[in-house]
Structure formats: structure tokens, C-alpha cells
Structure 1
Amino acid sequence: MSAAHTGVMSTVAELGAEISERVGRWVPHDGYLLVGLDPVTGAGCFLAEENAYGPSAKRELEIEEAASGPSPWRTPGPVLRLGPDATVRHGPQVRSAMAADGFGAALRVAVRWGELVLLRGHGRSFTTAESAAVERLVTPLADRVRRFVTDNPLHPVHHSPPGVVVVNSADEITTSTPSARAALRALTSSGNLLDPIRNITHLARQAPTLSRLPTPTGWLALHAERTAPAPDTDVVITIQPAAGTVLLPAVAAWYGITPAERTIIEQALQGLPGKQIARRLHLSPHTVNDHFKSIYRKTHVHSREELLAGLG
């Protein structure tokens, strides 16, 4: 699953189709979802799907996940079979919604940067041998998802007014600004504007949540928070370009920026020149320059100016 750096981000749909095709050589499936996760907060940051769950099943899945805590199914291993003959089953609401969509079994694959869900119709369960086959692919799958982001250089941040979306307790968008609708349309291939924010909406019902989303034109930051203490109240989501200290933790995780390199970037974001950074951190200017060279190599930029433009 290797690919040369082209400097151009493929679409999420292309990534999903590629992974589905490659995994399908070992484990045929009728549909799939590929979810990217913010590596710091664990909130969804991109989604690709084909012949997958409908809105009702997606909502029931989010409710079930929220009720059971943070992904408890991942504890025993990276692959989980769900279905009539599996040791783990979804709750009745999820099973009913899946059945309405024509699905009877799922195979969930956790990778460092997200999750792949393979789906089969009624009467076609996944086997233990297929689970083992997919488990052998976890590492290359994780690498491919990561390279979807890191094969691309940091794009300059285009500052623009934030967009706002309000989602009610029934998972319906009740209010949205034009800029928010435009952003959401660019983030989904399903046509359902709730899909890119469904996960962060449910996470926000527990606590304020942040996700940083990579897009071909730069990073977006989604902040979600409920309007009142009760969990069944509206959730307000703000969508705006991600920059500075908001963006840096996610970029550092995706691009493999070390703690020492991240400290250098934090100083640079304050506008400090290299010599002053060296004095403040008790390093030699040569060491600081070496850190910058490593950062440029990892983020595919060529200068401090390009780096700071990409981080806003």
C-alpha cells in the first residue's frame, strides 16, 4: 500500500475506494465505511463510504458508542466481528436499523488513525479466518490512512469567517450559515450534510469537542458544544480554518513531529528568530536549524515562511 508523494491530496472517496478494493481481495464485503480520527481528541475528521449504513443506523451506532464509553470493543484487539454468529453483537436498536438497511454483519477494524467498517448483507457473516486476514493488514492500513494526510504539504491557511451549524436532539440540522453549508458539502459525498459532523455532535453531548479536518485547500477546525447542561439539548458547531496552537497538536501527531520539534515550532509561531529561539531553549543555533530542516522534510515545505503560512 505504498504510494509516491505527489503533492496533491486524493479525495476521501478515492482513499476509501482504494482501501476497500485492496482489503476486498482477502475479505469480500457488500459495503464499507472508512472514518479518519483526530489523533488528539479521537473525534471523526473524515469519512468515506459506499453502500453503507443509512441515517437511522448511523444515529443508533453513535448513541450506542456514547452509552458504552470510549471504544471499549478495541481493548481485546484491532478487529471485531459483529453478527449473529459472533461473540459480540450490537444492541437491538442498532441491529434493527442495520437490518432495515439490508445488513446483518459487520467487521470493525481499528487503526491508529481511524476505523474501517466492512459490511455484509443478511446471511453472510464474517469468519474468524477473515478476521485474522484483516488483522494482518492493520499496519499497512494505518500507514495508508496516515499518508492520505502526510503525503501532502501544509497548505497556507486561508482565513475566513466561521460558519455555524445547530443540530437538535433528533440529529437534525435546524440552523446553518451559508459558509457552513458550503464547508459541509465539500466534506461529504453522501449528500447528507450531517454526515461529516455526526460523530462530533454526539461526542459534544458528553463534553465540548474539537476536531481538525484535512482538506485539499487546508485544515478546518470544528468546535462542538451543547447549548445547555442537559445531554438532549442542541449542539452548536463552529467551522473555521484551523491555525496556530489549535492546529499544531494534530499536525504534530499526523506528521510525526517530535516534542523537541514541536517546541521549536511553538517559538516560531510567536515570531521569534532562530537565534532567539536557541537562547530561550538553551540550544545552539545549529541544533535549531537542524530541527527546522527535519520539520520542513516531514511537512513537505521548503522554508520557515511556508511552514508558518501552513500553520497560520
Structure 2
Amino acid sequence: MVTVSDRIGLDLCAALRPGAGLEQVGAELSRVVARVVAHDALRCGVLNPATGWGATSLAFWHGYPPDLGRALLSVDGIKADVRELIRPAVPVVVADLGLRSGAHDPLLARSRVGEELRLALRDARGVWGVLCLLRAAGGRPFDDADAWRIAELGPSLIAALRGYVTAKPGAPAEREPPPGMLVVGADDRVRAMTPQARPWLEAMKAHLAVPDWLTESSYAALAAAARERPEPPRLCVPSVGAGWWTAIEAQPLGDDGDVAVVIQRATGTLLLPSFCDWYGITARERQVMQYLHGGSAPKQIARAFELSVHTVNDHLKAIFRKTGTSGRDELMAVINA
């Protein structure tokens, strides 16, 4: 017998359909989630557990005005998203958007912003993202019942997100463009790019129908994070974004505020942590994959871990099954291509 919870889970999986644009997926997610908690707008930012809190690698939006979206993708907005949710004991919070500063007051008034209900999408592996529901000013405030119902949705949404990311074969049909670079200025606008960067942007737009404001704001947020952090922020965007797993890294160019954003195919050690998280690879299977990536044969892997070759082959079979690959050659083509 299919329960209401099961039906919601199935509908979430149907809403997260590879090939649909981010806004279309956002609208479908909103439609499904509205049956659980009523809201006026929805956003769902997707993270890699391997990289933790920070700029999202994918994001679905529905109902947020672009100006409000830009503010929420600023460094201040990202900090507001995670200020409470980084504490494991606080899976759900009701927030006033964390933008109650003088600079944002006109925007908040113009957008008729009320409050957000924020859910950390967290399980034993880590944080997969954050789901935010917005209610407009003057509407019914979120209450404890809303928080409880949305928290119950968390595991189903994580499962749907993982299904979305891993639905397509990892290996693309065509070769990716060479690495490209953008330069984001101190005003957070893209002011230059190499010719090689343009195909990457076009591919992401073609695959995900990313609205211009979201593309611009995402790179601005990444650049702002690069100016604040000692370590360069790095995203690993799943293959649904461009047909390849994509690495995006930001690095300040000097003291004038310019930031270089490099876009390239994510392969090898750059890809493995995120790839293993999304495909549910266990810690031991990850070790086997690392040795496999280094060129070791099953006998050598067995010797390294003091295991039988039979056990190593069992791990390999599990890896091939989880990743939908037919064997070592296809798996390494996905990781190394």
C-alpha cells in the first residue's frame, strides 16, 4: 500500500526531472511541497557533502523576485542561510531572511517579504543543501506544525536530489570544452572572460535553462566568498549542469577586488569526493576507487588492505552497480575523461 509519505516521495522524484530547467524544476518542487506546507515562493540550494556549507552547486528557484534572489545569493545572504542550520541540533528554523539591514530595507518592502522556513537537508553523510519556503508579508506566520511537516520531508527530498544527480550516465556523449576563465570585478560583475569560458556558460544554460540573473549572482557570490576565505572556494557541479561534472574555482587576483573564476571538467582527485558522496560509495569502496584510479589491480588493492581478492572484487561490483558502469574501463572513463 502506498502511503501519503510514499506518494510525496515519488512526486518529488518526478519533479526533479533531468533535462528540465532550474525554474521549471523549482515550480514542480513548489507544487509538490505546497501539499505539505503552504508557501508563496521556494528555493532549494544543493550542496556537496564533501565541500560543506557555502555556495551551492545547483539551485532551484520559484517565485522569488530576481532582486531578492541576488540579495540572498550575496555573502550576507548565504551567511543568513547557514547561521542557525549549521548546528546539527537545529534542522529547521524560521528566519526573517537575515537581511534586515538598512541597505536591504527598500528591497524587502518592495518584495513584500514576510519570513522563510529553512530546512537543512542533512543525513549521516553530511549536508546536501537547504530548502527555503517564503511567505509574503501579511500572511500566516510559519508555526511548529509547519516546521515538523517540512522536517519530515527531508529524507525524501535528499533521496530525490540524489536520484536527480545520478540519473544520467556519468560519461558525456561529446568532449568538453577546454578550461575557461571569467574575471569578476570588485562590483561583482563579470567584466572579462576567455573565449574558452563561453561554451561552458552556454552548455549550462542549454542543459539547465539558467536565468541570467542567477548565473550572474552565482559567480558574484563565489567571487565574494573568495575574497573572504583563506582557501579558494571550489564547486563541483554534477553532470546535469553541462553534461560533465564541472569544477569551478575562484581565486583573488590581487588587492583590487578582481577574482578569477576558472571553469573546467572535474576529473580524478578533484571529482572523487563529490562523486562518491552522490553515488553512495562507502568509505571502503572509496579507498578501493582511489587505488583503482591510481592504476592498481585488484590483487594489489587486496594486498594493500590485507583483504582477499574476492572481497575486493565484491567491492568493485558494488561500485559498478551504484555508478551504473559496466566495469573498470567505463568507471575510469567517467573519472578521468
- The question of a shared fold, defined as TM-score above 0.5 by the shorter chain, is answered with yes
Partner residue in 2 for 1:249: 273
User: Which residue in the other structure is 2:56 paired with?
Assistant: 44
Which residue number in structure 2 is paired with residue 59 of structure 1?
71
Measured at CA, do residues 260 and 125 of structure 1 come closer, stay the same or move farther in structure 2, by a change above 3 Å? same
TM-score (norm 1): 0.86
Distance 2:98 2:59 in 1: 23
Question: Does 2:117 align with 1:107?
Answer: yes
* Change in CA separation of 1:199 and 1:78 when aligned onto 2, cut-off 3 Å: farther
CA contact (8 A) 1:220 1:242 kept: yes
Corresponding letter in the other structure for 1:58: R
Query: Paired residue for 1:292, among 303, 307, 316?
Result: 316
Whether 1:117 aligns to 2:132 is yes
Aligned-pair CA distance for 1:35: 1.0
Separation in structure 2 between the aligned mates of residue 55 and residue 61 of structure 1, nearest angstrom = 10
Describe the SS at the equivalent of 2:251. strand
Choose from 10, 20, 32 the match for 1:11: 20
Q: Distance in 1 between matches of 2:331 and 2:322?
A: 11
> For residues 225 and 55 of structure 1, do their structure 2 counterparts lie closer, same or farther at Cα, with a shift above 3 Å needed?
farther
Distance 1:90 1:196 in 2: 18
Query: What amino acid maps onto 1:79 in structure 2?
Result: V
The one-letter amino acid paired with 2:211 is: S
TM value normalised by structure 2: 0.80
**Match in the other structure for 2:5:** none
Deviates more, 1:261-270 or 1:172-181: 172-181
Q: In the alignment, what sits opposite 1:223?
A: 249
The percentage of counterpart residues that share the same residue type is: 32
Q: Contact 1:57–1:97 at 8 Å: present in 2 too? A: no
Q: Which amino acid aligns with 2:58?
A: F
Name which structure has the greater RCO, CA cutoff 8 Å, separation 6+.
Answer: 1
My pick for the range that moved more, 288-297 or 99-108, is 99-108
In 1: Cα distance, 2:136 partner to 2:77 partner: 22
- Root-mean-square deviation over aligned CA pairs: 2.7
The separation in 2 between residues aligned to 1:264 and 1:12, in whole angstroms, is: 36
Note if contact 1:81-1:107 (Cα within 8 Å) is conserved in structure 2. yes
Listed one character per residue, the Cα deviations across residues 150-169 of structure 1 (whole Å, up to 9, x for unaligned) are: 33332259453111111122
Instruction: Count how many residue pairs are aligned between Structure 1 and Structure 2.
Output: 303
Distance change >3 Å, CA 102–CA 63, structure 1 → 2: same
Candidates 133, 150, 171, aligned match of 1:134: 150
One-letter identity of the residue aligned with 2:18: M
Q: Identify if the C-alpha distance between structure 1 residues 247 and 296 changes in structure 2 by more than 3 Å, giving closer, same or farther.
A: same
For structure 1, list consecutive stretches of 5 or more residues without a partner in the other structure: none
Counterpart Cα distance in 2 of 1:12 and 1:107: 24
* Secondary structure, aligned partner of 2:171: coil
Residues 296, 12 of structure 1: alpha-carbon distance in 2 compared, 3 angstrom cutoff: farther
Gaps of 5+ in 2: 1-8, 123-127
SS at match of 2:295: coil
| Alignment check: 8 A CA contact 1:104 1:122 kept | yes
Q: 2:161 & 2:289 partners in 1: Cα distance?
A: 25
Residues 144 and 206 of structure 1, relative CA distance in 2, 3 Å threshold = same
Q: CA deviation at 1:268?
A: 1.4
1:143 matched residue in structure 2: 159
- How big is each residue's C-alpha offset from its partner over 1:21-48, in whole Å with a ceiling of 9 and x where there is no partner? 1111122222222211122223310112
- The match for 1:77 among 74, 81, 90 is 90
Of the three residues 2, 22, 25, the one matched with 2:10 is: 2
Alpha-carbon offset, residue 199 of structure 1? 3.5
Structure 2: distance between partners of 1:243 and 1:307: 12
